[in-house]
Amino acid sequence: MKYWKCKCGKCEAFGSDSPPPCISCSDCGTDYTGNKPIEHLWSIEQVETDEGLKPLSRCRYCYKTKGQIEKENK
């Protein structure tokens, strides 16, 4: 098990896999390794809806959709 935290120590993570490099602390702005976070890397996948296939943008690092990230940043 490994331990990571941002520079100010507010954001912490534990586990065997490293945390996504695109997620940052809202206070100090660093990622879980204390560095500047990288931009989200978007992957567009087709999902089936009642209206047919529609594109869905999802980050390859944190697996969140654009809509989820926009809601979190408000």
pLDDT tens figures, 6-53: 999 999 999 999 899 999 998 999 999 899 999 999 999 999 999 999
DSSP code of 2?
E
Helix, coil or strand: residue 56: strand
Q: Report residue 73's pLDDT band, with 50, 70 and 90 as the boundaries.
A: confident
Q: Is the pLDDT of residue 60 over 90?
A: yes
For the chain, how long is the longest CA-to-CA vector?
46
Query: Scanning the structure block, which residue is given the tokens 């990622």?
Result: 31
The length of the chain in residues reads 74
